[in-house]
Amino acid sequence: MDPQIEALREHGYVVVPRFVSQGALTQLNETAREQLRARGSPLELEADLRYPGAPRSRADAGGGTVRRLLDAYARDPIFAEWAVTPGVREWMESYFGEPVLMSRAHHNCLMTKHPQYGSLTGWHRDIRYWSFQREDLVSVWLALGAETADNGALWLVPGSHRMTFGAERFDEAKFFRAEHEDNGVIIRKAVSPRLAPGDAMFFHCNTLHSAGKNLSDAVKFSLVYTYHGRSNAPLAGTRSASKPEVGL
């Protein structure tokens, strides 16, 4: 595990092959598909976010396309089990050097990327979703199927979690301005690691990343959770503090 943690510290992300066993992967995939069929709340729709390529409204063609099945932890026991699975706990404790908590306020979701109506996601740091004492959170992205640049896998800029940028490099929604010349130089260093089914990608909340559209003909499913050390509390009164966290 130590070389993986070193890689995360150095590059801002690391892929751990075959993190999920074949048996668990089959169960997770069945549950993911059932959950998408059932469309239980809370859901985030592509039409609500309106990222590039998404339907313009819920009334338009593809307007019901799901982007995230939110609160994965509460949706099904197998999703809850994977949020706190010993492999993740050991990994996160080793990185943070203290007991860890899983936030239920963002990520904590099953991400779906649909052909045709699935949108692309611009360059950003996930810290935009959070308000904590320190910008030190780590997400685990569990690929339930293969993820490649062709079906909308993540692109990440190695080492960007250690870079500092002025506020002018981001837009009002905290997307990293792709048209800014200096940003372009950084974005051109991005890589898109291929993930096999069952691989995990751990990445830091300050790692710049984006994702393209899904050009395949199958929905892509990924389970995503975010963790922080116990000493790094969410700021009172913010969305990050709005839901009880889960101790591992």
Ligand X SMILES: O=C(O)CCC(=O)C(=O)O
Q: Quick check: 187 binds ligand X (CB under 6 A)? A: no
Q: Quick check: 111 binds ligand X (CB under 6 A)? A: yes
Kind and range of the H or E run holding 227: strand 220-229
User: What three-state secondary structure class fits 87?
Assistant: helix
**Which residue in 75, 113, 114, 204 binds ligand X (CB under 6 A)?**
113
**Which residue in 85, 103, 112, 121 binds ligand X (CB under 6 A)?**
121
Q: Quick check: 47 binds ligand X (CB under 6 A)? A: no
Q: Quick check: 156 binds ligand X (CB under 6 A)? A: no
Q: Quick check: 114 binds ligand X (CB under 6 A)? A: no
Beta pairing partners, 225: 140
- State both tokens at 182: 């200096």
Residue with smaller CB distance to ligand X, 16 or 211 = 211
Residue with smaller CB distance to ligand X, 161 or 247 = 161
User: What are residue 168's phi and psi, to 5 degrees?
Assistant: -70, -15
User: How far is 26 from 30, CA to CA, in rounded Å?
Assistant: 6
**Which residue in 110, 211, 219, 223 binds ligand X (CB under 6 A)?**
211
What distances in angstroms separate CA 26 from CA 5, 31, 52, 78, 90, one per listed residue? 27, 9, 32, 11, 23
Q: Quick check: 126 binds ligand X (CB under 6 A)? A: yes
Residues forming contacts to ligand X in the complex (CB under 6 A) are 111, 113, 121, 126, 152, 209, 211
